[in-house]
Structure 1
Amino acid sequence: MLSRALLSCLAATLCILILSHPILSEETEYPLTISDSAGRTITIPMPVQRIIALSTDHAEAVMMLGDGDKIVGVSDNLKSKVEIFPSLKNKQGVGKWNEVNFEQIGEIARQGDTIVPDIIVLAYTYPDKPYGAENVAMGLKPFGNITVVGLDFYKPENLTQDVQLLGKILNRNDEAQDYLDWLDSSRTKITNAIKGDDIPNVYFESNNKGGLGELATYGMGSGIDGMIRQSGGINIAGDLEEMYPKVTWEWVITQNPSAIIRIQSSDKIGWDRSASQDTTTLEGIADEIIGRAGGEKIPAISDKDVHVIYWDMMFGMDSVVGQTYLAKILHPDADLHPKDVYREYLKFLGIEFPEERIFVYPPLDEN
């Protein structure tokens, strides 16, 4: 018979082995009842085999977790972004991201005369919009067996819970945690790099389609407002209660911003660095802002701190890339290397980083 001392030793050794061994995430069990990010209680009856993504954010999240091959339908705008979504260019379109074609989704979902409930539709929450999860679910109700899940991904403060929830739904809990560990590490690097720096006032412009009397910006509660704060800046529109307010150029001047950021999208990953249509367009945007009447009165223009930033990295799964670039703009001496962060992110998606592209204009000095 083993002695009490030997048993104690064996027990202690077993405990050490158990504690030192990584604990695997729990497998998702179905039927799965959850509360989505829209606050809706939904039940997913069986493992998900088919996914319809109504935005680039949703498609990118699914691909990040390793289930891109399950996407069977996409909003039309995804099909033009072939560099980031090469596998989706021939997928069935289901209308615009903000104008969903319910009949097309029903046709994709139907297999023969029935709809097997292994399909989900990923939509934004937006309770007051026709393309919000609740209204999309109502539009698909006549077809039956199609579960709509409300997830946003566009607010940095909610990104972790959105990713965890999607990981649970798709039984990709380990993949979700791998991404979240990288996300937390990347955010921590930003926080440490800008700690103790001065906090500049920032004006972030979406577009000027309404002219200088109706400039589109980002107010309280918007994803950009949160990102500016987390990047070590103060959003001059952060006290405006509208999430997406319109302001005048005269008002911007009174707020005396130290930096001006303007967004610009692209169907590619970033913009060509060399002389091209890209650089001509970007230079034109920057020059228009710099040349606005009265602009010489504010530090952003007098100090040449006007930047155009690649819009597609500012929201969703790669938002920490945009946050790193934004922090580098606001704190140019910070020990931050945005290209490295972007390179790491694209590696998650299995996409090679485009070395000759830029993501901020004028290009940043990252040395």
Structure 2
Amino acid sequence: MCKITHNCKVVWSCLTISILVITASVPCLGEESEYPMTITDSAGRTVSIPSAVQRIIVLSTDHAEAVTLLGVDDRIVGVSDNLKSKPEHFPRLKNIQGVGKWNEINFEMIGEIARKGDAIAPDIIVLAYTYPDKPYGAAAVAKGVEPFGNITVVGLDFYRPENLTRDVTILAKILDRDAEARRYLNWLNVSRERISEAVEGEESPRVYFESNSKGGLGSLATYGMGSGVDEMIERSGGLNIAADLKEMYPKVTWEWVVTQNPAAIIRIQSSDKLGWDKPPSGDTIALGMIRNEITGRAGGDEMPAISGENVHIIYWDMMFGMDSVVGQTYLAKVLHPDADLHPEDVYSEYLQFMGLKMPDDRIFVYPSRDAKR
């Protein structure tokens, strides 16, 4: 293990400077939004917004969260179908027309929603991921809606922690919601700084972070260099054992994991609900089975993570996107149980931005250990 030192803060300061350089072409918060507006989206595309945006189509839960947090979810007129399975997250969007899956978009439906009478008024935008080589990336989506005319596509991600400031600032300028963006970004920065201060000087445990084991023990999905999770582990006071792997989302074998001797194992798991039901519940039975499969893998008995009972499952939905600092706080608390951090308070604060209340009957880390008030 090594200790988290001031050098780590220097790294994050350099990252912040890099982000500022990248976003130099983005209008600053506080400037009045004027239309037509020209912005550079996160896909590097020059996009013209012809008039004030009155209607929004969101192609992912990340986009829906961002629009909701900025207080204009009443402008959403179309959603990706997967939002329908998360009514607790988006109660006000459950009856909005679907436009296909996030990766299988129904362009005809988008055109139908956009149409007002016989024409399409240019007051509508579609929020898409950036991915330049994917059919659901902004460039491909723009091509798909081009035949209809007057539908503007903006590429924003919101899922990478290092790009959140840029993405939120761009969207806030487009929607003229600067005050809401400033409020969120101030909270985000304070929450991040609180984590940095809490883990300063602590030993950095080696962490194996598993996405899934669908490919079996010979093809375990993890996160490598340049991934958002790699950054999150470091910011949470840990050392990612896959950080030196050149692929962003590598596959590794369990034998390799054993040779890396991690002190902590983290597995992420999703849920259609806001967290998992507290024990005893069907949720915790299922989580227990996942954890038992990990701890029972051959050759892991002497691994510090397993012998020290430091194997945890963390709620997937809070690890990426607008609430990623919530996931980071929970992760930091798992890695450093004695740190002065209160993850549930941070989550409650975030849910207030979303117009939601923190549920009393849910957990977000299994086993809960000290990641609670």
Q: Would you call these one fold, judging by a TM-score over 0.5?
A: yes
Shorter-chain TM-score category?
A: over 0.9
Find the counterpart in structure 1 of residue 314 from structure 2: 309
Q: Is 1:360 matched up with 2:358?
A: no
* Distance (Å, rounded) in 2 between the aligned partners of 1:243 and 1:44: 33
- Corresponding residue to 1:106 among 105, 108, 111: 111
Q: Is 1:178 matched up with 2:183?
A: yes
RMSD of aligned residue pairs (Cα, Å): 1.0
The answer on whether the counterparts of 1:215 and 1:248 sit within 8 Å (CA) in structure 2 is: yes
Find the counterpart in structure 2 of residue 248 from structure 1: 253
Q: Secondary structure at the match of 2:116?
A: coil
Query: How far apart are residue 47 of structure 1 and its match?
Result: 0.5
- Kindly provide the amino acid, as one letter, of the partner of residue 273 in structure 1: K
Find the counterpart in structure 2 of residue 82 from structure 1: 87
Unaligned 5+ segments in structure 2 are 1-28
Q: Secondary structure at the match of 1:72?
A: strand
Find the counterpart in structure 2 of residue 45 from structure 1: 50
Find the counterpart in structure 2 of residue 65 from structure 1: 70
Find the counterpart in structure 2 of residue 300 from structure 1: 305
* Distance (Å, rounded) in 2 between the aligned partners of 1:242 and 1:92: 37
Query: How far apart are residue 296 of structure 1 and its match?
Result: 0.9
Q: Is 1:344 matched up with 2:349?
A: yes
Find the counterpart in structure 2 of residue 216 from structure 1: 221
* Distance (Å, rounded) in 2 between the aligned partners of 1:241 and 1:39: 24
Q: Deviations along 1:187-238, whole A, 9 cap, x unmatched? A: 0100000000011111111111111011111111111111111111111111
Unaligned 5+ segments in structure 1 are 1-23
The answer on whether the counterparts of 1:314 and 1:323 sit within 8 Å (CA) in structure 2 is: yes
Q: Deviations along 1:148-200, whole A, 9 cap, x unmatched? A: 11111111111111111111010001110000000001001000000000111
Query: How far apart are residue 338 of structure 1 and its match?
Result: 0.1
* Distance (Å, rounded) in 2 between the aligned partners of 1:201 and 1:140: 46
Find the counterpart in structure 1 of residue 96 from structure 2: 91
* Distance (Å, rounded) in 2 between the aligned partners of 1:301 and 1:40: 47
Query: How far apart are residue 274 of structure 1 and its match?
Result: 2.5
Q: Deviations along 1:118-166, whole A, 9 cap, x unmatched? A: 1111111111111111111111111111111111111111111111111
* Distance (Å, rounded) in 1 between the aligned partners of 2:239 and 2:59: 32
Q: Is 1:234 matched up with 2:267?
A: no
Find the counterpart in structure 2 of residue 199 from structure 1: 204
Find the counterpart in structure 1 of residue 268 from structure 2: 263
Find the counterpart in structure 2 of residue 7 from structure 1: none
The answer on whether the counterparts of 1:73 and 1:92 sit within 8 Å (CA) in structure 2 is: yes
Query: How far apart are residue 356 of structure 1 and its match?
Result: 1.8
- Kindly provide the amino acid, as one letter, of the partner of residue 212 in structure 2: N
> How high is the TM-score relative to the length of structure 2?
0.91
Find the counterpart in structure 2 of residue 115 from structure 1: 120
Find the counterpart in structure 1 of residue 16 from structure 2: none
Q: Secondary structure at the match of 2:301?
A: helix
The answer on whether the counterparts of 1:155 and 1:226 sit within 8 Å (CA) in structure 2 is: no
The 4+ residue runs of structure 1 with deviation greater than 4 A are none
Q: Secondary structure at the match of 2:119?
A: coil
- Kindly provide the amino acid, as one letter, of the partner of residue 260 in structure 1: I
Query: How far apart are residue 27 of structure 1 and its match?
Result: 1.9
Query: How far apart are residue 269 of structure 1 and its match?
Result: 0.6
The answer on whether the counterparts of 1:308 and 1:360 sit within 8 Å (CA) in structure 2 is: yes
Find the counterpart in structure 2 of residue 34 from structure 1: 39
Q: How many residues align?
A: 344
Q: Tell me which structure has the larger Cα radius of gyration.
A: 1
